[in-house]
């Protein structure tokens, strides 16, 4: 059922073979196969509910596969895999926190076992390293509550980089950011990804903010997955199959618009979305444990991450 577009045959940072994923008895992915090469920056796209978050959680071992295999950096999926850094989709509640930026990052390094960061030289050095990587030194002394959404995203990225992961799973890092901050986050992730030579999966509602950064795109829809270059995947036939309805692709001034009739698809069901979703992971101590529900409002984007 996988839409056939050309795939990399290089050694995979991420090998997904005939994966079937089900939630509550419903198929989310019906048969997905693709290989992401080490060092690639992959944009993960697809409509609400296509399974972007679910697929990332499966890679983290938080969700069993119904069928198929996933290999991460050549090894079977394992829970708490230290070679994966994860930024979950839900980050609400951070804006109200008065913890200093540096302590916020350090908490993810130490865990919350004693409620206070352990004074451990190696852990401190790692915190310094990741703060440097995201240009976060000036944010380190400021309370989270006084940072902009984009600045908080930099600290969240720093958290993901603790422990030197080889693969980053970033779930909707652009949500609730205005276009200027979106560009800043994409550029930052791209720079860090190249500097460290790591692999990144970056999910997003919109393709355009990612256009200049990504190597390839992984598009999910209809239980299927298509991985390829933008020219290979963002096409009428591939997207019409993934949406299960006729899709048009328009190129305008270096931007790409994916249209269902006269409506842009990413405006269809992504108009409002920042509710609780997803679950916890080693580097993730700061969000609600919600129950994956989806909003289908047609209001404007909110900016409250
Ligand atoms: N615990 C669950 N039980 C049953 N269905 C679930 C559960 N969690 C999520 N789902 C459903 O699985 C589907 C895939 O959800 P997922 O969150 O992976 O989509 P997504 O592509 O990340 O969407 P979004 O763009 O909204 O983040 C959705 O239809 C969702 O309602
Ligand atoms: Mg999601």
Tell me, in angstroms, the distance from the centre of ligand 1 to residue 19's CA: 16
Residue identifier of the C-alpha nearest atom 26 of ligand 1: 48
Cβ(81)–Cβ(72) below 8 Å: yes
Return the structure tokens found at 27.
Answer: 């198929």
Residue 155's pLDDT is 94
**Count of CB atoms situated within 10 Å of the CB of 235:** 17
Residue identifier of the C-alpha nearest atom 25 of ligand 1: 48
What residues form DSSP beta bridges with 76? 71
Query: Which among 144, 212, 206, 198 is positioned nearest to 173, based on CA atoms?
Result: 206
Residue 110's pLDDT is 63
Q: List, in order, residues 6 or more apart from 101 with CB less than 8 Å away.
A: 131, 136, 139, 140, 141, 142, 143, 144, 147, 155
Residue 176's pLDDT is 83
Cβ(51)–Cβ(29) below 8 Å: yes
- Locate the ligand 1 atom nearest the alpha carbon of residue 220 and give its number: 21
Residue 282's pLDDT is 37
Among left, alpha and beta (phi > 0; psi -120 to 50; other), residue 51 is: left
Tell me, in angstroms, the distance from the centre of ligand 1 to residue 139's CA: 33
Question: Which residue bears the tokens 């050309």?
Answer: 6
- Give the H or E element holding residue 104: helix 101-110
Residue 284's pLDDT is 39
Return the structure tokens found at 81.
Answer: 């895999």
pLDDT along the chain (305 residues), means of 10: 48 92 94 96 96 96 96 94 91 77 83 51 89 94 91 94 96 91 95 97 96 97 96 97 95 94 77 42 39 37 34
Ligand 1 site-directed mutation target among 52, 65, 289, most atoms within 8 Å of CB: 52
Residue 274's pLDDT is 44
pTM over 0.75: yes
Residue 1's pLDDT is 47
Residue identifier of the C-alpha nearest atom 2 of ligand 1: 23
Query: CA torsion 203→204→209→211, rounded to 10°?
Result: 50
Tell me, in angstroms, the distance from the centre of ligand 2 to residue 294's CA: 9
Residue identifier of the C-alpha nearest atom 6 of ligand 1: 23
């Amino acid at each position: 059922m996988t839409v056939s577009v050309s795939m990399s045959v290089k050694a995979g940072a991420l090998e997904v073979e005939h994966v079937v994923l089900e939630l509550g008895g419903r198929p989310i992915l019906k048969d997905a196969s693709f290989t992401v090469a080490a060092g690639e920056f992959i944009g993960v796209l697809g409509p609400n509910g296509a399974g972007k978050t679910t697929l990332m959680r499966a890679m983290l071992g938080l969700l069993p596969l119904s069928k198929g295999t996933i290999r991460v950096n050549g090894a079977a999926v394992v829970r708490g895999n230290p070679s994966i850094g994860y930024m979950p989709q839900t980050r609400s509640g951070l804006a109200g926190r008065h913890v200093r930026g540096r302590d916020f990052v350090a908490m993810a390094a130490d865990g919350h076992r004693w409620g206070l960061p352990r004074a451990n030289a190696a852990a401190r050095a790692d915190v310094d390293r990741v703060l440097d990587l995201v240009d976060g030194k000036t944010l380190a002394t400021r309370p989270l509550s006084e940072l902009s959404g984009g600045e908080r995203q930099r600290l969240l990225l720093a958290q993901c980089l603790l422990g030197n992961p080889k693969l980053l799973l970033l779930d909707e890092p652009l949500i609730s950011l205005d276009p200027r901050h979106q560009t800043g986050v994409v550029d930052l992730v791209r720079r860090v990804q190249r500097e460290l030579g790591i692999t990144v999966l970056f999910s997003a509602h919109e393709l355009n903010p990612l256009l200049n950064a990504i190597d390839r795109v992984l598009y999910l829809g209809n239980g299927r997955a298509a991985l390829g270059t933008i020219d290979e995947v963002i096409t009428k036939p591939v997207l019409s199959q993934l949406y299960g309805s006729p899709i048009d692709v328009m190129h305008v001034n270096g931007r790409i618009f994916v249209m269902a009739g006269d409506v842009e698809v990413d405006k269809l069901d992504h108009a409002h979305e920042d509710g609780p979703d997803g679950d916890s992971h080693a580097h993730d101590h700061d969000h609600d444990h919600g129950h994956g529900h989806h909003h289908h409002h047609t209001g404007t984007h909110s900016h409250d991450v």
